[in-house]
Amino acid sequence: MYWHVDDVEDALANLKAMGAQEYEPIIRRGEGFVTASVIDPFGNVLGIMYNAHYLEIVNARKQG
């Protein structure tokens, strides 16, 4: 599962500061699409992403 964040680099740093271990480094997957993932202290993998296309869809739903 991936959670959308405004700043992947900042979110990754915060998660690591709280005890998570980096699982997948920051990867720029295309224009406006960035991901990374960590393993939390309980062994769960948590993905974070920024996706400009996702934001377009969310904003369109809010307006409509």
> Would strands 33-39 and 45-51 be described as parallel, antiparallel, or unpaired?
antiparallel
- pTM score, whole prediction: 0.84
3-state secondary structure of 17: helix
Q: For 3-52, what is each residue's pLDDT tens digit?
A: 999 999 999 999 999 999 999 999 999 999 999 999 999 999 999 999 99
* In the chain, where the domains are located: 2-63
3-state secondary structure of 61: helix
What is the architecture of the domain spanning 2-63?
Roll (3.10)
